[in-house]
Amino acid sequence: MKIVLCVTVLAVISAVPVPRATAHSKPSQDGIILTVQKQDVATPPVRAGADPVHTPLQSHYSLYDVSVQVNCKVYVGRYQSELDDLPPALSPQNSAPVRVKGSTIFLDFPGDTVKMQIVSHKTSRGGTCGQATLGK
């Protein structure tokens, strides 16, 4: 009796479809890099007028806000670099396959994928929004 019950439970469990554990991302779309803006950041911040002798040591790094247009949407992704080494492919007017997943944007360059956190996005309402990705 126990064997029949175990076989029945096993048959029911194996018949239930199990969703895959791997995440499927959307296929990439053609995008074009519109602008790249650099920010130099020092942490911890030092207040104005502080005695330079008594201020803490600071670490410096660069943040880049990269605007990418995909169809009629413009995403601004943040790329952080401690060595001030922006990949050459992240230049204005470069085109790239773009994937957006949640709050992350992926630029799939040949041999390298650049992952950036999305800090803002907007939808363009102009009549030329679909034509900007045709350049280059």
| CB-count exposure of residue 121 (10 Å: 0-12, 13-18, 19+) | middle
What's the CA gap between 74 and 77, in Å, rounded? 10
Q: Does residue 39 register a pLDDT over 60?
A: yes
Distance CA 58, CA 61 (A): 10
Give the mean pLDDT of 54-81. Answer: 89
Q: Tell me if 94 sits within 8 A of 86, measured CB to CB.
A: no
Distance CA 31, CA 130 (A): 10
Domains of the chain by residue range: 26-46+57-134
pTM of the model: 0.66
- For strand 95-101 and strand 29-43, is the pairing parallel, antiparallel, or unpaired? antiparallel
How high is the pLDDT of residue 17? 52
CA pair distance 105, 111, nearest whole angstrom:
17
**Could you give the C-alpha distances from 91 to 15, 85, 86, in angstroms and in order?**
51, 12, 9
Summarised one tens digit per residue, pLDDT across range 80-125 is: 887 778 888 899 999 999 999 999 999 998 888 999 999 999 987 7
State whether residue 129 is helix, strand or coil: coil
Three-state DSSP at 2 gives helix
